[in-house]
Amino acid sequence: MPLPNIDADLLETPSFEQVQAKALPHPPRILLLYGSNRERSFSRLAVLEAGRILERFGAEVKIFHPKGLPLPEDADMQHPKVQELHALLAWAEGMVWCSPERHGAMSSIFKAQIDWIPLAAGAIRATQGKTLALMQVCGGSQSFNALNQMRVLGRWMRMLTIPNQSSVPKAFLEFDENDRMKPSSYYDRIVDVMEELYKFTLLTRGQAAYLCSRYSERKESAAELSKRVNQKAL
């Protein structure tokens, strides 16, 4: 059937061979972000547990500590914490986001980290094509508000967000005096989520550019696309 509206030169049929993961010379690289600067931050403790599980699978893990990161637009891109965050984003193949829920939403500390991620190369986001796992910790009963917000945010950042997710209710009851998570179904769920993240990262290694390539954007020139997405806010 003819499709007169399509530029055939820009739309080749994807093949099984094209979507195969590539062998890379290093273990999967996973960056973990959390959303609280409290001395005993349960989102940080949950991230530490997640990192240990990922290392058990063979991943290389790094955690960004947000303390000292300025508010977006309150400093420039040369700030040391901003530079640290950008370097880790460039390094990572996948990410774990974990935020506490505050006033029914993700924390401002977590959101500030995402807001420092630039559209550095036109429409190409620094997170584009990376895998993503989502977690939240709750001070009370189990909730999914922060998770739902982060899932929308992951789509906006063009990430490959895995289906599974973790929400830990009454997180202050789930960690012992050594700041290790106690055995529970909530801990098992974090294991599930990290296992799934690791598998999806292996499935998509080295293919971020191809998987996120869009016909509509290939039609536009690089200059036109960059001009459109970098318009100044009115």
Residue 6 lies in a domain: no
Task: Supply the range of the domain harboring residue 202.
Answer: 25-227
pLDDT at 84 over 90: yes
Residue 215 lies in a domain: yes
Read out DSSP for the chain?
A: ---TTS-GGG-PPP-TTTT-----SS--EEEEEE---STT-HHHHHHHHHHHHHHHHT-EEEEE--TTPPPTTSS-TTSHHHHHHHHHHHH-SEEEEEEEEETTEE-HHHHHHHHT---TBTTB-TTTT-EEEEEEE-SSS---HHHHHHHHHHHHTT-EEEEEEEEETTGGGSB-TTS-BPSSHHHHHHHHHHHHHHHHHHHTTT-HHHHT--HHHHHS-HHHHHHHHTPPP-
Residue 156 lies in a domain: yes
Residue 49 lies in a domain: yes
pLDDT at 171 over 90: yes
Across 70-79, 104-113, 119-128, 164-173, least confident range: 119-128
Residue 10 lies in a domain: no
- How many domains, in total, are found in the chain? 1
Percent of the chain predicted with pLDDT > 70 = 92
pTM of the model: 0.89
pLDDT of residue 119: 65
Residue 12 lies in a domain: no
Give the CATH number for residue 82.
3.40.50.360
Q: Identify the band that residue 225 occupies on the pLDDT scale cut at 50, 70 and 90.
A: low
Per-residue pLDDT of 14-43, as tens digits, reads 989 888 998 899 999 999 999 999 999 999
Residue 125 lies in a domain: yes
Residue 112 lies in a domain: yes
pLDDT at 135 over 80: yes
pLDDT of residue 1: 79
Per-residue pLDDT of 54-65, as tens digits, reads 999 999 999 999
